[in-house]
Structure 1
Amino acid sequence: MSDLFGGSEPGSAPAADGVPADDPSRPLADRLRPRELESVVGQDHLLGPDGPLRRMLDAGRLGSIVFWGPPGCGKTTIARLLADRVDLRFEPLSAVFSGVADLRKVFQAARARRAREGRGTLLFVDEIHRFNRAQQDGFLPYVEDGTVVLVGATTENPSFELNGALLSRMRVLVLRRLDDAALERLLARAEALSGAALPLTGDGRVALRAMADGDGRFLLTLAEALLALRDAAGADGMAPLDPPALAQVVQRRAPAYDKDREEHYNLISALHKSLRGSDTDAALYWLARMLDGGEDPAYILRRLTRFAVEDVGLADPGAVGQAIACWETYDRLGSPEGDLAIAQLVVYLGTAPKSNGAYTAFKGALKAARRTGSLAPPAHILNAPTALMKDLGYGAGYQYDHDAPDGFSGQDYFPEGMDRVRFYNPPDRGFEREIRKRLAYWDKLRAARGRAEDPPDRQ
């Protein structure tokens, strides 16, 4: 797979900022690939003086690496330039198009080359996560004995996609999406190579960088299309494009979003935690990102309903009703009209008082239930439909709460032999402020009637 920042062909003449300028028939992104690591943009945290790759090079030893980062950030390029810097033979493979037979040929050639020339091989595997686990295991002996230095590239989280055995032998380095400054440097290189400015207003230039969404290769593809439009305009020239005009002639890069991959879980986590932190504006942003990326609204609504129960809870008992009403509204309206109902629910949940009191109470009760096993309910709260059960004491001593003047008997309903435990500790906010008062009142009555001491805190 091609990469914006790959190496250059031998004999290329350097141009502005250390980049090659050769055959004009080649794509612009290909012609602007750096010849040296110092020309790579946007990855100073890896290649700067204190970066891990710089330290490896200074030590004169390159270990096996996994490059994890978004498309168009320079993974292939850096691997190729690292091979040049430490004098390793660069062997590229794509996991999309290669199989075991291709790997076997590379390993055999690498072993023969090392024996014949004393020169090592850097095996670069693009999309390495696409190899299955058995294929990944096949790398292990060749990595361990030094036949190859393995450099893999992936857009997916290596923790989920790579074997633990292989991952333990490689260092994971995270490449960042290109920031605005890095994208601007690439545009400047494109203009230096073409000898003319891009036909853009200042705002149009900002919009072009935004359209690339951190993908340098895509940015230069857009720039090449604009340069072609400028050339086609001929002597009459071309009026600089502002953002609306730019949107009519080039297409925005689709957001990086895969509904069954890590970005899916990252964004729903961002939405959930923004709501929990009562940052309604951030929650609306993450909702928009998910909907714009094509997420199933039913999935979002399910998670928001869960949030209403888990994180708002009884601090606002109406939150669950709002979530269900929103869900039903969306089912009737569909998209895009129903998207507004989801946005309204996000605003409601973001601005609601928060409590996980019921959630933690249930977790505590579940833990206690598993610890205490099969303790029976106390006999006085068991029904006695037969004479035998009455003789055994079922129901004896039960006090009907509605017969008490205040509607509260104060009896103990925990199993015999089990101390009372306070699982539910409502916070002093929202509707739970009133619940807290009720619990305190009942504790006081229970203690006054000698039924039990105040319950200990949940354990």
Structure 2
Amino acid sequence: MAGGLFSALTPTPLPERLRPARVEDIVGQDHLLAPDAPLGRMLAAGRLGSLILWGPPGCGKTTIARLLADHVNLHFEPLSAVFSGVADLRKVFDAARQRRLGGRGTLLFVDEIHRFNRAQQDGFLPYVEDGTVTLVGATTENPSFELNAALLSRCQVLVLRRLDTPALMTLLSRAEEAVGRALPVTDAAREAVCAMADGDGRYVLTMAEQVLDLKVDAPLSPEDLARLLQKRAPIYDKGQESHYNLISALHKSLRGSDVDAALYWYARMLDGGEDPLYLARRLVRFASEDVGMADPQALTQALASWDAYERLGSPEGELAIAQTVVYLATAPKSNALYVASSAARQAARETGSLAPPMHILNAPTKLMKQLGYGKDYDYDHDAPDAFSGQNYFPDGMARRELYRPVERGFEREIRKRLEYWAKLREKRHKGE
């Protein structure tokens, strides 16, 4: 009786009340649950293999695992990697073994499975292999980074999508149906609720519950919602998958000369709590790697914004970095410097310890002069056009064209210079 009393005092939250009771009620994951999709085929066959469900928070991982167990008549055993250790796993496996002897299998659902270390992950292997448990792990992180290869080889990885606006709108409609009244919001505010949820179904229902509890005289506007509700924090972990995805998006937007997309990804990373100095360092790298000599000022601009941020701090210094984002996105692009540097390193590895040609070596001692150091060196400033055309590669090594400037930006001028010097070099060699 006491339990019933306390249950009445603590009503079930709306997200839990609306947790789907059938696979057909799950929204936003048709690419997995449709009849011809991976999970749809498994359910039709009545057989379920071990799975890793990878997706953002609030997309339905736990619900899917629970309904899969019901559909194939497996005992559902939930476990959180955050709160569980080796002793807890041992109890689960012992119980599953006994349950199996009685003729029923176990679906072991491990939430946040990436939180288990490599040794703990290895502990699952014998029980997955012999069928003691069907493992369904849930993770918000890239399994290829966080789970060991042995475990991955025994599980099928299924990627769940963040819930789009139509899916979130469906959840809002279900919330209204459950409580028997409409959300007191305008159409624009309804869309704002979905935007604030950022793809998280659990969060959109939590916000809907808060709005439904409000006593208002007129429908709320988006501005009213922003004042009354807390926006969901962006999904961003500076050491994990989202970090690498967003910096890749920024880098490739810059390379693609899409200034608006580059500014967007820059803002997304800042909003997620990224260290602006990390972004400043990446922009310095981009200036050399993807702009290079097409605009030599790009590197100067990138270094200047780094310096400006260290002097000003946040938020003022972030504008200097944004200036560099715009500069780099709109600069002419060339990876000729990057390619040349890589080719030079490769040539250096191939040729080993070949010595420079004798004529370009200094001869500070009499012995070195006698040995031929510096002999026949042509001082370029004394040559016509200040260009001697001598060979500066090691003797016995054929000349290599490592740097090939493109026909863009300042490299167009560099290309002209190189072609001019090539003609002079050819002319000199013919005259010898």
Shared fold (TM-score, shorter chain, > 0.5): yes
Partner amino acid, structure 2, of 1:443 = A
Q: Secondary structure at the match of 1:450?
A: helix
Counterpart-to-counterpart distance in 2, 1:340 and 1:31: 46
Equivalent residue number for residue 136 of structure 1: 121
More deviation, 328-337/312-321: 328-337
Contact 1:412–1:451 (Cα < 8 Å) also in 2? no
Counterpart-to-counterpart distance in 1, 2:19 and 2:363: 85
Q: CA RMSD in A?
A: 1.5
Equivalent residue number for residue 101 of structure 1: 87
Equivalent residue number for residue 352 of structure 2: 373
Give the number of aligned pairs.
425
Tell me, yes or no, if structure 1 residue 445 matches structure 2 residue 399.
Answer: no
Equivalent residue number for residue 149 of structure 1: 134
Equivalent residue number for residue 169 of structure 1: 154
Partner amino acid, structure 2, of 1:170 = C
Equivalent residue number for residue 56 of structure 1: 42
Counterpart-to-counterpart distance in 2, 1:276 and 1:182: 34
> Which aligned pairs between 1:54-453 and structure 2 lie closer than 5 A?
54-116=40-102, 118-229=103-214, 233=215, 238-450=217-429
Deviation at 1:330, TM superposition (A): 1.6
Counterpart-to-counterpart distance in 1, 2:148 and 2:431: 56
Q: Secondary structure at the match of 1:93?
A: strand
Counterpart-to-counterpart distance in 2, 1:225 and 1:411: 79
Query: Cα–Cα, structure 1 residues 51 and 147, in superposed 2: closer, same or farther, change >3 Å?
Result: same
Tell me, yes or no, if structure 1 residue 42 matches structure 2 residue 28.
Answer: yes
Deviation at 1:51, TM superposition (A): 1.0
Counterpart-to-counterpart distance in 1, 2:9 and 2:416: 80
Counterpart-to-counterpart distance in 1, 2:431 and 2:78: 74
Equivalent residue number for residue 6 of structure 1: none
Equivalent residue number for residue 9 of structure 1: none
Deviation at 1:49, TM superposition (A): 2.1
Query: Cα–Cα, structure 1 residues 24 and 48, in superposed 2: closer, same or farther, change >3 Å?
Result: farther
Q: Secondary structure at the match of 1:198?
A: coil
Deviation at 1:189, TM superposition (A): 0.2
Alignment deviations for residues 183-228 of structure 1 (CA, whole Å, 9 cap, x no partner): 0000000000111000101111011110000000011000101111
Contact 1:37–1:81 (Cα < 8 Å) also in 2? yes
Q: Secondary structure at the match of 2:316?
A: coil
Counterpart-to-counterpart distance in 1, 2:98 and 2:309: 64
Counterpart-to-counterpart distance in 2, 1:434 and 1:69: 50
Partner amino acid, structure 1, of 2:81 = A
2:12 to 19, 26, 31: 26
5+ unaligned residues in a row in structure 2: which ranges?
Answer: 1-7
Contact 2:356–2:392 (Cα < 8 Å) also in 1? yes
Q: TM-score, normalised by structure 2?
A: 0.96
Counterpart-to-counterpart distance in 1, 2:344 and 2:299: 22
Contact 1:23–1:31 (Cα < 8 Å) also in 2? no
Deviation at 1:385, TM superposition (A): 1.1
Counterpart-to-counterpart distance in 1, 2:49 and 2:369: 78
Counterpart-to-counterpart distance in 2, 1:212 and 1:297: 26
Q: Secondary structure at the match of 1:62?
A: coil
Deviation at 1:405, TM superposition (A): 1.7
Residue identity (%): 72
Q: Secondary structure at the match of 1:119?
A: coil
Contact 1:45–1:51 (Cα < 8 Å) also in 2? yes
Deviation at 1:332, TM superposition (A): 2.1
Contact 1:412–1:452 (Cα < 8 Å) also in 2? no
Counterpart-to-counterpart distance in 2, 1:60 and 1:364: 56
Contact 1:72–1:215 (Cα < 8 Å) also in 2? yes
Q: Secondary structure at the match of 2:384?
A: coil
5+ unaligned residues in a row in structure 1: which ranges?
Answer: 1-21, 454-459
Counterpart-to-counterpart distance in 1, 2:299 and 2:120: 48
Contact 1:312–1:319 (Cα < 8 Å) also in 2? yes
Query: Cα–Cα, structure 1 residues 81 and 451, in superposed 2: closer, same or farther, change >3 Å?
Result: farther
Alignment deviations for residues 207-254 of structure 1 (CA, whole Å, 9 cap, x no partner): 11100000000110001011111xxx3xxx531100111111111001
Counterpart-to-counterpart distance in 2, 1:95 and 1:50: 32
Contact 1:446–1:452 (Cα < 8 Å) also in 2? no
Counterpart-to-counterpart distance in 2, 1:392 and 1:337: 62
Q: TM-score, normalised by structure 1?
A: 0.91
Partner amino acid, structure 1, of 2:264 = Y
Contact 2:246–2:265 (Cα < 8 Å) also in 1? yes
More deviation, 328-337/306-315: 328-337
